[in-house]
Structure formats: C-alpha cells, structure tokens
C-alpha cells in the first residue's frame, strides 16, 4: 500500500508522525506521505518539521516516508503562490484540498489548483469535465479516496477520468489510526467506485510512479 495523503498532529490528525508511520508499516504500507493541512499561516511551520523526520522514520521502519502538504481552503487566487512556497520549503508531494461535496470549498479551487505545479488534487468532488481534461493534459493525479463523506463522489471522478484519460491515485486522507486501510480494502473501495481490476492495478502503479518522481524509490 502506498498512501500519499495523511495527517498527523501538525494539523487535525490524532497521531505524532512516529506513531502514524509505525501503524502504517504494521498495516503493510510501503510508502506514506504526511500531508498536513496548510495555508499561508502555517506551511513554514509544518513542512520543515515533517522534512526533518522523514529519513529517520524511513530508516527505522523500512518504508518510504515523504514530506508533503495539503493546501486546504486556500482562496483560489492564492494557490499558485503557496504551491511555489511549499516546494521551496521542501514539500516532495503537494496536494490541494479539492471541491469535496461535504465541505464549503471555494468554487474555482479545482481549476486554480490544476493550473499550478501540484501532484494530486484530493477528493475533487463533482469535478467538471474541462478540469478533468486539464488534469489529464498536465499529468496531475486525481484522487479516489477512502475517506468517509469525501468518497461519495468517487464514482463521478472515476467515470470522468476513464472518459478523458486522467490518471488516478487512491489515498486514505487518514486523520486517525482507524482510517488506515490495507491494500486489499483499498481495492474493494475502488471496485465500489466502479473500477475494474486492470484499472485498480494501474492506479496503484500510479502511486508508485509518483513516489519515484519524488526521487524516493529508484
């Protein structure tokens, strides 16, 4: 299992990074990105603290631990600047909190995020066709999520990604230990969103490719 969207106590997660990583390792994870919620007020706090513990935790647990950020409820016009700042601070995976149907995310967030240099648009909700086309053209991954509430629109995301050739990754959006899932459960959730086995295997391969792009798996 590779999971590129999780949270620890540096935002609204329940666990310190060491426990989050250890629990993920016991669950069978090969790689995990810690992507706490950030905006202009806190990314300079979060990213350096995650970055400093990635290698020690990777070595101790025999898995890849990746420094990331999830830019969350950022006004659309501010996303591009914060993406650049996050990269400069050391974020290897940049996620933007998409227009999930269960939170009041500002309209235009999906489009603004896809116009920048991000890796994953998380739980993009009822994403528009033209935004899926843009994601496909730019090689930005759309997220299939196991997170309660956010997952309600998984089927819509899968259908449009299939239609327009956009790439998918599956993440948990973990906030507590109960949110971590096995690869087998992840596959079941993907099937519930209408994916067939070949698509699921490709999605898992996409997560591995993204980790390789971050320079963490040869």
- Domain membership of residue 28 as a residue range: 2-213
Mean pLDDT of 62-66: 96
Domain presence at residue 102 = yes
SS3 138: helix
Alpha helices in 33-172, H assignment, sequence order: 43-61, 79-89, 109-114, 129-138, 154-164
Domain presence at residue 125 = yes
pLDDT tens-digit readout, 94-135: 999 999 999 999 999 999 999 999 999 999 999 999 999 999
Which pTM was predicted? 0.97
Q: Which two tokens stand for residue 150?
A: 């956010």
Domain count, the chain: 1
Q: Cα 177 from chain centroid?
A: 17
Mean pLDDT over each residue of the chain, to the nearest integer: 97
Query: In whole angstroms, how large is the CA radius of gyration of the chain?
Result: 16
SS3 57: helix
CATH code, domain carrying 31: 3.20.20.140
pLDDT tens-digit readout, 142-195: 999 999 999 999 999 999 999 999 999 999 999 999 999 999 999 999 999 999
Domain presence at residue 218 = no
């Amino acid at each position: 299992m590779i999971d590129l969207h999780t949270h620890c106590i540096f935002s609204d997660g329940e666990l310190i990074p060491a426990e989050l990583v250890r629990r993920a390792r016991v669950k069978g994870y090969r790689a995990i990105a810690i992507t706490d919620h950030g905006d202009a007020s806190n990314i300079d706090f979060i990213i350096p603290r995650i970055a400093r513990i990635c290698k020690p935790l990777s070595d101790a647990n025999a898995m890849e631990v990746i420094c990331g950020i999830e830019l969350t409820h950022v006004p659309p016009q501010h996303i591009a600047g914060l993406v650049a700042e996050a990269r400069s601070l050391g974020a290897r995976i940049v996620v933007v909190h998409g227009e999930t149907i269960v939170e009041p995310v500002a309209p235009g967030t999906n489009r603004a995020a896809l116009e920048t240099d991000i890796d994953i648009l998380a739980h993009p909700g009822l994403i528009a066709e033209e935004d899926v086309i843009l994601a496909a053209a730019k090689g930005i991954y759309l997220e299939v999520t196991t997170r309660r509430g956010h997952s309600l629109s998984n089927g819509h995301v899968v259908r449009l990604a299939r239609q327009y050739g956009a790439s998918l990754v599956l993440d948990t959006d973990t906030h507590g230990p109960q949110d971590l899932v096995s690869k087998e459960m992840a596959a079941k959730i993907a099937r519930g969103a209408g994916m067939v086995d070949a698509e699921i295997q490709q999605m898992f391969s996409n997560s591995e490719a993204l980790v390789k792009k971050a320079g963490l798996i040869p």
